[in-house]
Structure 1
Amino acid sequence: LLGAEAAGRFPTRRDLPLIHAAAAAMACAAAAVIWSLGHLRDKTGGPERPRALRATATAGSCVAAVAYAAEVIRDRAKPGQTAPYLATPSGLLKVVETFLALLLLGLAAEQGAGAGPEAWRWCLGIYCVSFAVGVLVVGGCLGGWGWCGWGGQDPSGTRRALGVYAALGVVAYGAAVVLWPLYGFREEMGGQARRPPGCSPSCPWDRRLLVALLTALNLVAYGVDLVQTGRLGHPLGQDWALRGGCDPSWGRIGP
């Protein structure tokens, strides 16, 4: 992508580099957090040089995350522009939601949620379904399916479908944001209210807390997505997708 931009030959689809940058930003941020939890807190790793290298790896991940995020902010769709749906704030939120669901699915499975309390199994199912549906939505947009863009016969129906998707996400993650901490940190439910003393650097309690925080973050993402989806169809709002014509190389988003 950098070579194509330097040569003045931009990618034919604007959403492809944006999705890559958004996913890379979240991956680097997640790596910085998980790496620091498991390695920077470990004081038994030998002399100072390896520990300094581990800190450098964490700092590098943070810098990469900021750089990718800056690329997303720079290249995302602005009000009044004709752009693919995934380049709009609502579309980029779909990528964020899907990546967070994947991360939550892996962390919850690592904590043994599948064999844990029934509430945790429900949370695991929520993460799994939201990831699978998110992949279908993002993949459909990249594949140019008519239901994703705004060039179909029924754009209002598409808006309603995307709104229902975001609303269901709010309901599902609203339940998960209550159930996971309830059975993870309430002692009467079998959890641990405080971090155990002498817990290892890769302490399960830390991972449980991380799952709880990421669940709340995805709930916020779905809530903002619901608001942005409503603004796409508002005549006075900043509707990125309903203005301008349809360029086939940029996705089917014309009025």
Structure 2
Amino acid sequence: MNPSVRSAPEPTVIVPDWPAPANVRALVTTRAGGISVAPYCSFNLATHVGDAAEAVAENRTRLRRILPAEPRWLEQVHGVTVADADWPAVVPQADAAVAREVDVVCAVLTADCLPVLFCDDTGSVVGAAHAGWRGLAAGVLEATVARMGVSPASLLAWLGPAIGPAAFEIGGEVREAFLRIDPGADIAFVSAAAPGKWMADLFVLARRRLMRAGVARVYGGGLCTYADATSFYSYRRDGVTGRFASLVWRDAAS
């Protein structure tokens, strides 16, 4: 490793603003602080997007330095499977994870899809979900709430950066997938300029699904990946691009 890599700054991260218990820690990475080159510059954490393997490995090493343990990465498939992050060292095919053990880091990777972090009032369980429109419509948030094994009323959720309603144009079939389950979700859609197209608000859709699942305390939302090219990757904006991580864990020191 050359001297410029060793002396590079730590990753720039966002700390969620939510009233989580003191023993619950969470953060979201940004594009800054890594060694990946265009179009992945600079702190890409995904191994499946075409970035150089050595760059991703170094970026993950840098992330590990600010965490209590290696994140429990997932093979995300836009589904509703929720993994138990307290498992041995394997990579499950899942789009959410929960953990009850101390220093087990739940993580999801996104670049327009909505990351949602969870914890309960007592800090006994945490979770992270990858909620693209397919997973959101299919019930990945409800599945995560159920897998946490506590009363939904005791849960807090935080909505991370995702593509915002001014940029997320979808077809009528996507809108119908949500309206079949929740007709009131119509408020999350606005007619687009193109015939048959709609602008969708993932944050509103997620809040509605969480409320229906019994999670009333929902924070965050509003950080648009598409609009902020300096801070976030966006698949819709750039096509070939990296992924940033949203992470949550129980802290033994608090």
TM-score, length of structure 2 as denominator length? 0.26
Give the number of the structure whose alpha-carbon radius of gyration is greater. 1
The structure whose residues are more often helix, as a share, is 1
The structure whose residues are more often strand, as a share, is 2
